[in-house]
Chain A
Amino acid sequence: MHFDYLSVLVLVALGIGNVLFMVALPKLLRPSKPNPQKLVAYECGENPVGTSWIQYNARFFSVALVFVVFDVEIVFMFPWAVVFKSLYKTQGCVPFWEMFTFVLVLLVGLAYLWAQGLLEWVKSVRKA
């Protein structure tokens, strides 16, 4: 088992080594002639106005929140799914109903989001 994780670690090390190599090698080969115009952010030839580190649309955050809820739920369901068959032999349908209840609560939440229009991307179309 340790051995398996060690090989994962070796792969990560190899990946990092490869990236370092790929970044370092061209350094010897490529030219470096920067000028102010070249180093301006690309906006199709226009000079960029202001920084782009600005406040962003809040719906990205609501998507992120919904994601967190469901991702945590899925993390709970992974072990359940793995032991589902062996649990059936000892406890019958009980694990199924337990998970069903758990998911049902969250599904009511999903339905609520749906009904409230939080899953809509284009808000203006929605009728109040």
Chain B
Amino acid sequence: MNDSYGVRHLQKHIWENHAFSHIFNADFLGFALMVIAGVALLTFVLVYGMVAVWAERKVAGHIQDRLGPMRVGWHGWLQSLADGVKLMLKEDIIPTMADKPLFILAPPLVFLAAFTAYAVLPFSSRAQLADLDIGVLYITAVTSLGVVGIIMAGWASNSKWPLYGAMRSAALVVSYGVPLGLSMLPVLMLSGSLSLQEIVGNQGGGILHWNLFQAFPFMPLAFLVFFISSLAETNRVPFDIAEAESELVGGYHTEYSGINFSLFFIAEYSAMLLSCGVAATLFLGGYLPPAFRTLGMMGLPRLLAWLALGLFLLWRFTSFWERRQFSEALFFAVLTLAGLLLWRTFPHLFWFLTKTGVLFLVMLWLRWTLPRLRIDQMMYMCWKVLTPLAFVNLFGTSLWWMWAN
């Protein structure tokens, strides 16, 4: 080392450039903002979890021509809150035969695995807790910890149903991890980055630049593989053999009660939203708007879109009005207004939540439409359909790209 760089210089260098100095010194504000953002994210996930449970029950009800929860609050919108309070007041039962430490550790682990992955999810170009340059890898790594928690829960319960559920879940999640990873590769190839911000940034310029519409027909196929695999990864119908109520009582969380049980629920719904968010980010342009004006047709499609939206709203309101469903009309109006407000103030957030929400609704829709698959059918689907398809896709995309260049 040069003489002019003595120990004091080194100390100063460390103090100025090391992360800790940011916390305690120069960038205390930044750290505080970080904590606030983290708390906001936590609140979002928890509130969202409650809304999602309610939404699921409402959607289920209406798909089956019922009403769903109606008692607590207007159209049962406080149902989840009531359930939450109830679960908190319930006794926490730990079976005598159980492996106690593992039994207690499992639900927090499942929850954390789903929750910490949100750190890199880009809600907008700025609303992202951490833009890691290995974002995709981080999400894959963290979410795959969830299955460890599930196996832990199933094994620690020392009961037959949870063990069945956990083993099935392990086989399922582990198997579908392969097509899931493989279907991400074409996206990484086209973006040339693992950072989610850069992946989104690469899809700028309108709907035709979304990864979904690249390299036809390979990217749509990759999206399909990804979506199906993420259904399996989150143990959703038609891949919900891990908790199959009708055959395994409750699967890996049979023995859980009270707040521990609700942690599994929150974890499941956060994992769902996460995989929808990742799908939207990787394939549907993330928080970027579809941007009709860049299509070059000088606003004609835009005009048509506005017209369609106006007509739709008019139709809904008149029909509500005629049927004297004032509360529905009010709900609809508030929703529309809130959406418009969000769109005008935080367009990125609006588009991200819209895309994610649509995918989420598709997930709910699938749950109440499709029957549960048998485990052999799932294994067939994974290893003999999705995995080869994903390989074909990968090399198809790379060949397409090399051919195009």
A and B touch in their complex, CB below 8 angstroms: yes
B224 contacts partner chain A, Cβ-Cβ < 8 Å: no
B90 contacts partner chain A, Cβ-Cβ < 8 Å: yes
In the complex, A16 Cα to B402 Cα: how many Å? 46
Whether B391 and A63, one on each chain, are in contact in the complex, defined by CB atoms closer than 8 angstroms, is: no
Whether B177 and A52, one on each chain, are in contact in the complex, defined by CB atoms closer than 8 angstroms, is: no
Name the contact of A30 in the complex, choosing from B163, B186, B258, B394 (C-beta under 8 A): B258
Residues of A within 8 A of B93 (CB): 34, 38-39
B51 contacts partner chain A, Cβ-Cβ < 8 Å: no
Residues of B within 8 A of A19 (CB): 108, 111-112, 263
B246 contacts partner chain A, Cβ-Cβ < 8 Å: no
Whether B160 and A12, one on each chain, are in contact in the complex, defined by CB atoms closer than 8 angstroms, is: no
Whether A42 and B130, one on each chain, are in contact in the complex, defined by CB atoms closer than 8 angstroms, is: no
Residues of B within 8 A of A114 (CB): 383-384
Whether A74 and B112, one on each chain, are in contact in the complex, defined by CB atoms closer than 8 angstroms, is: no
Whether B39 and A14, one on each chain, are in contact in the complex, defined by CB atoms closer than 8 angstroms, is: yes
Whether A74 and B192, one on each chain, are in contact in the complex, defined by CB atoms closer than 8 angstroms, is: no
Name the contact of B185 in the complex, choosing from A5, A78, A107 (C-beta under 8 A): A78
A84-B19 contact given A12-B116, A32-B91, CB 8 Å threshold:
no
In the complex, A4 Cα to B186 Cα: how many Å? 26
Q: What residue of chain A has the Cβ atom nearest to residue B85's Cβ?
A: A29
Residues of A within 8 A of B260 (CB): 23
In the complex, A52 Cα to B159 Cα: how many Å? 5
In the complex, A11 Cα to B258 Cα: how many Å? 25
In the complex, A110 Cα to B157 Cα: how many Å? 35
A1 contacts partner chain B, Cβ-Cβ < 8 Å: yes
Whether A77 and B185, one on each chain, are in contact in the complex, defined by CB atoms closer than 8 angstroms, is: yes
Cβ contacts B188-224/A at 8 Å (1 or 0 each)? 1110111000000000000000000000000000000
A8-B116 contact given A67-B174, A81-B189, CB 8 Å threshold:
yes
Whether A78 and B19, one on each chain, are in contact in the complex, defined by CB atoms closer than 8 angstroms, is: no
Cβ contacts A39-61/B at 8 Å (1 or 0 each)? 11111100010011100110010
Whether A107 and B391, one on each chain, are in contact in the complex, defined by CB atoms closer than 8 angstroms, is: yes
Whether B160 and A48, one on each chain, are in contact in the complex, defined by CB atoms closer than 8 angstroms, is: yes
Name the contact of A74 in the complex, choosing from B41, B138, B181, B376 (C-beta under 8 A): B181
B132 contacts partner chain A, Cβ-Cβ < 8 Å: yes
Count, A-B residue pairs, CB within 8 A: 218
Whether A96 and B112, one on each chain, are in contact in the complex, defined by CB atoms closer than 8 angstroms, is: no
How many A residues have CB within 8 A of the partner chain? 70
How many B residues have CB within 8 A of the partner chain? 91
Residues of B within 8 A of A96 (CB): 395, 398-399, 402
Q: What residue of chain A has the Cβ atom nearest to residue B22's Cβ?
A: A3
In the complex, A25 Cα to B92 Cα: how many Å? 12
Cβ contacts A96-127/B at 8 Å (1 or 0 each)? 10001001000100100110000111100000
Residues of B within 8 A of A32 (CB): 91-92
> Which segment, of B94-102, B275-283, B290-298, B363-371, faces chain A?
B94-102
Cβ contacts B132-164/A at 8 Å (1 or 0 each)? 110011100000000000000001011111110
Whether A16 and B193, one on each chain, are in contact in the complex, defined by CB atoms closer than 8 angstroms, is: no
Whether B108 and A41, one on each chain, are in contact in the complex, defined by CB atoms closer than 8 angstroms, is: no
In the complex, A30 Cα to B257 Cα: how many Å? 12
Residues of A within 8 A of B155 (CB): 53
In the complex, A120 Cα to B37 Cα: how many Å? 47
In the complex, A43 Cα to B175 Cα: how many Å? 29
A83 contacts partner chain B, Cβ-Cβ < 8 Å: yes
In the complex, A12 Cα to B38 Cα: how many Å? 9
In the complex, A103 Cα to B27 Cα: how many Å? 47
Name the contact of B167 in the complex, choosing from A11, A22, A60, A66 (C-beta under 8 A): A60
Nearest-Cβ distance from residue A104 to partner chain B, whole angstroms: 10
20 A-B residue pairs with CB within 8 Å: A8-B129, A19-B111, A22-B263, A27-B92, A30-B88, A30-B92, A31-B91, A32-B91, A38-B93, A40-B96, A52-B160, A64-B171, A77-B182, A82-B193, A86-B192, A88-B401, A103-B395, A119-B379, A121-B376, A121-B380
- Residues of A whose CB lies within 8 Å of any CB of B are 1-8, 10-12, 14-16, 18-19, 22-23, 25-27, 29-34, 36, 38-44, 48, 51-53, 56-57, 60, 63-64, 66-67, 70-71, 74, 77-78, 81-86, 88, 93, 96, 100, 103, 107, 110, 113-114, 119-122
What 4 A-B pairs come out closest when comparing CB atoms? A121-B376, A41-B159, A2-B19, A4-B130
Beyond A40-B95, A52-B159, A82-B193, 8 additional contacts (C-beta under 8 Å) are A8-B130, A30-B91, A41-B160, A43-B161, A88-B402, A120-B379, A121-B375, A121-B379
